[in-house]
Chains A and B, each alone.
Chain A
Amino acid sequence: MSTSRTIQFTLNGRPATADIAANETIVDMLTNRFELRGARESCGQGLCGCCTVTVDGMAVSGCLSLAWFLDGKSVETVEALSKGGVLDPVQEAFIEAGAFQCGFCTPGFIMMVRQLLDAHPDPDEDEVRHYLTGNLCRCSAYPEIMDAVKLAAAKRKRASAA
């Protein structure tokens, strides 16, 4: 038991090690120790989703989670999504639908939309709302984000049919 320790985990598919303090959040660790700035803190209260990452495949707020508990887990951030310069279908859909203005909220939305489509490949409006209600876009690109979700679902279906 102590105030700091070394954790070993998987970060975006690669083994990672970090010496972290017990009071260090996941976003702080990603930003300060790994220079990953996709997950960023905005509200700091679990409300807005800007800090969304997945831990063992499950979305969490990086601002409300302590890095301490990542030991042995697998963490994925938005930076993992494009593979060899090729964007994830959800990323493509956001660009094509113009689903952002400043883009601050976009990584979090993209991470949540991927969760949504994993659970509901063809989501109805209720399912979309259910998943995205915890993501805020201060530029209010919501109509375009709804379009992007539909587009992303179609792209994914095409990709899996091919």
Chain B
Amino acid sequence: MAALEIAEPEKLDDAYTMLGTEEGSIRPMGGGTALMLMMKAQLFKPSKLVSLRKIEALTGFSLSVDASHIRIGAMTTFSELEQSPMIAQHLPVVTQTMKTLANVRVRNVATVGGNLAHGDPHLDLPPVWSALGASVRIVGVDGERVVPAEELFLGYYETVLAQGELIADISVPVRPGWRFFYAKVTTRAEHDWPALGLCVGVRAEGEVIADVSLVLSAAVDKPTRLKSAEAALRGVALSDAALAMAADAALAEVHIEGDGRGSAAYKQQLLRVHLGRAIKHVMQGSASA
């Protein structure tokens, strides 16, 4: 690894100053897991890392007083979420996703903000936050803006974040009556990067899919909402025919990319199969709940 400087500001304003606004070799650092991999592989040679670990404004997570939202500070680690009974109660899909995300040591340090800012379309949580309807609060010298999680990503490793901007926290709505499930479809080992990631949320009324939220990742260049498939399912009674139509709609609206974990044709078939399975899974869960 090349030589570098490290700074550990305690105030957001100091972090903005250190980061500057020129694209270059100065980067913020959350848990550092993604940065360290890139630095060790010499893919990225930062001149300076601005660690965010001492900035209190970026930490903590809690349920709002009216129980409608959960605010999660950008520096919250995956292990903190995984072990939280509050998250398990209100966002069980997050707890479920942690079970097959990396390993204990990575989860102990990887952060919610770093994970989102990284922009890797293979990551497991971005489609989950997107399907849940989370919003991301971005702060910088010029003030703050709030962006829906699904609009944070522009493409492969590309986000709307400008140099000097930081993810401060995310706000995740608690949605009573909905059930979510994240299908991590791996083709090698269970904890490998997914060939296809699919987060499915359903609000069921008996056998009818009253409302639905579908976000695809890993097989596409960024987490992508399957709008046509959602439209095909909304208000429809669960049936194999309805699921097949939704899968057709999904395949028509996205461009599936092949990679080392599966060809495009294979991933198209995975989407067809797992979309149906995931929706049946959440519908059955709702029926018994």
Q: With A and B bound together, what is the CA distance between A119 and B67 in angstroms?
A: 29
List A contacts of B105 (CB < 8 A): 46, 49, 52, 59-61, 64, 134
Of the candidates B7, B18, B48, B104, the one whose C-beta lies within 8 Å of that of A59 is B104
List A contacts of B4 (CB < 8 A): 3, 22-23
Q: Report A109-137 CB contacts with B as 1/0, cut-off 8 Å.
A: 00010010000000000000011011100
Instruction: Please tell me if the beta carbons of A22 and B33 are within 8 angstroms of each other in the complex.
Output: no
- Report the minimal beta-carbon distance from B205 to chain A, rounded to whole angstroms: 34
Q: Report A1-28 CB contacts with B as 1/0, cut-off 8 Å.
A: 1110000000000000000011101000
A65: CB under 8 A from chain B?
yes
Q: Is the interface of B mostly helix, strand, loop or mixed?
A: mixed
List B contacts of A66 (CB < 8 A): 6, 32, 36
List B contacts of A45 (CB < 8 A): 37, 40
List A contacts of B106 (CB < 8 A): 46, 61, 64, 134
Instruction: Please tell me if the beta carbons of B191 and A133 are within 8 angstroms of each other in the complex.
Output: yes
B64: CB under 8 A from chain A?
no
On whether A46 and B5 interact (CB within 8 A), knowing A133-B191, A134-B103, the answer reads no
Give the total of A residues in contact with B, Cβ under 8 Å. 30
Instruction: Please tell me if the beta carbons of B32 and A1 are within 8 angstroms of each other in the complex.
Output: no
Instruction: Please tell me if the beta carbons of B6 and A46 are within 8 angstroms of each other in the complex.
Output: no
Q: Which of B6, B33, B103 has the most CB of A within 10 A?
A: B103
Of the candidates B39, B53, B108, the one whose C-beta lies within 8 Å of that of A69 is B53
Instruction: Please tell me if the beta carbons of A64 and B190 are within 8 angstroms of each other in the complex.
Output: no
B109: CB under 8 A from chain A?
yes
Instruction: Please tell me if the beta carbons of A65 and B109 are within 8 angstroms of each other in the complex.
Output: yes
B43: CB under 8 A from chain A?
no
On whether A64 and B32 interact (CB within 8 A), knowing A52-B105, A133-B103, A134-B106, the answer reads yes
Q: Report B1-33 CB contacts with A as 1/0, cut-off 8 Å.
A: 111111100000000001000000000000011
A95: CB under 8 A from chain B?
no
B99: CB under 8 A from chain A?
yes
A68: CB under 8 A from chain B?
yes
List A contacts of B49 (CB < 8 A): 22
Instruction: Please tell me if the beta carbons of A21 and B36 are within 8 angstroms of each other in the complex.
Output: no
- Report the minimal beta-carbon distance from A24 to chain B, rounded to whole angstroms: 8
- Report the minimal beta-carbon distance from B244 to chain A, rounded to whole angstroms: 34
On whether A44 and B6 interact (CB within 8 A), knowing A52-B105, A131-B104, the answer reads no
- Report the minimal beta-carbon distance from B8 to chain A, rounded to whole angstroms: 8
Chain B residue at minimum C-beta to C-beta distance from A51 = B105
Q: With A and B bound together, what is the CA distance between A52 and B109 in angstroms?
A: 13
Q: With A and B bound together, what is the CA distance between A133 and B40 in angstroms?
A: 23
Of the candidates A3, A44, A46, A133, the one whose C-beta lies within 8 Å of that of B190 is A133
Chain B residue at minimum C-beta to C-beta distance from A66 = B32
Of the candidates B1, B2, B5, B33, the one whose C-beta lies within 8 Å of that of A2 is B5
Q: With A and B bound together, what is the CA distance between A65 and B36 in angstroms?
A: 8
Instruction: Please tell me if the beta carbons of B108 and A23 are within 8 angstroms of each other in the complex.
Output: no
B51: CB under 8 A from chain A?
yes
The 6 closest A-B CB pairs, nearest first, are: A134-B103, A23-B1, A1-B7, A64-B36, A22-B6, A61-B105
Residues of A within 8 A of B (CB): 1-3, 21-23, 25, 44-47, 49, 52, 58-61, 63-66, 68-69, 112, 115, 130-131, 133-135
**30 sampled A-B residue pairs with Cβ under 8 A:** A1-B5, A1-B6, A3-B4, A21-B3, A22-B3, A22-B4, A23-B1, A23-B3, A25-B36, A44-B40, A46-B36, A46-B37, A46-B103, A46-B105, A52-B105, A59-B105, A59-B108, A64-B32, A64-B109, A65-B32, A65-B109, A66-B6, A68-B6, A69-B53, A112-B104, A130-B99, A134-B102, A134-B103, A134-B191, A135-B103
